[in-house]
Amino acid sequence: MLKITNITKTFNKNNGGKFQAISNMNLDVNESEFVCIVGESGCGKTTTLKLISGLEVPTEGKIVLEGNEINGPGPERGVVFQEYTLFPWRSVLENVTFGLEEKNIDKRKRTQTARKYLEMVGLADYADAYPYELSGGMQQRVAIIRALAVNPKILLMDEPFGALDTRTRDFLQNELIRIWATERKTILFVTHSISEAVFLADTVVVMKSRPGRIHDVIEIDGSRPRARTSKEFKDYCTIIHGMLENGLDRVHF
């Protein structure tokens, strides 16, 4: 569904020099696949998401979504950021309908769609509330369904739970898996957390820095929901930790 071919991204520095954020990245993502990109700060995770979203343009290479090369932002790609991005002057319902308004969907249809998604995430009773009345976790649930409401082909998520406490983060990870299982959207999810990646993903892309590049791609076996205390879960976390901390390959385990 998504094909990243020989992507390199170089930025110009203020001193006249250049910084290579990503070098020769190649990645295929299948339809309905849940992919997590994990790596240390500065390895190019967020840059990769920006390139796929069309907010940045690759220096070399190309990115193709369902046969169409990405050259800029588009409604077929929904984005959820770490920061709370709801419009404070709009109600919860109005936030969810925003993208549908941009697509000129009639009011009755967009309201029905928004209420369906609010019901899905247990926020139907908060339709008329405003963002300041919601907890951080509730705001992120609204941000996720706002992105889903426009029916994107792929959902791009940049550390969406990074600012939340552990308990809320665990709850929303379970919620996201439940939503994904229902909607079967293709998801590309960026995280610093190894355990989050192993819990969520079908496939974990391990990135290294200087320059940003793919170190390995790991298929995660096991049905969902995954037990964080199981030996299999801990083994995956240990393998990925070894790759990130020591540059090890899977052959060492």
The predicted pLDDT at position 247 comes to: 64
* pLDDT at site 110: 94
| Residue in the structure block whose two tokens are 């919601």 | 134
Question: How many C-beta atoms surround the C-beta of residue 201 within 10 A?
Answer: 24
pLDDT in tens, 228-238: 999 999 999 99
Q: Please, which residues have CB within 8 angstroms of residue 186's CB and are 6 or more apart in sequence?
A: 1, 2, 29, 30, 31, 32, 33, 34, 35, 153, 154, 155
| Alpha helices, DSSP H, located in the chain | 45-53, 92-102, 107-120, 136-149, 166-183, 194-200, 231-246
With a CB cutoff of 8 Å and minimum separation 6, the contacts of 130 are 88, 89, 90, 91, 92
Q: Where in the chain is the domain with CATH 3.40.50.300?
A: 2-76+156-252
Question: For the chain, what is the radius of gyration of the CA atoms?
Answer: 19
Q: Which residues pair with 186 in a beta bridge?
A: 154
- Work out the average pLDDT over 122-148: 94
Residue range 68-90: average pLDDT? 90
At 85 the pLDDT is: 84
Q: Residue 251: its pLDDT value, please? A: 45
Q: What's the pLDDT score for residue 84?
A: 75
CB of 110 closer than 8 Å to CB of 118: no
Domain 2-76+156-252 has CATH 3.40.50.300: yes
- pLDDT tens, position by position, 101-115: 988 999 999 999 999
How many C-beta atoms surround the C-beta of residue 151 within 10 A? Answer: 15
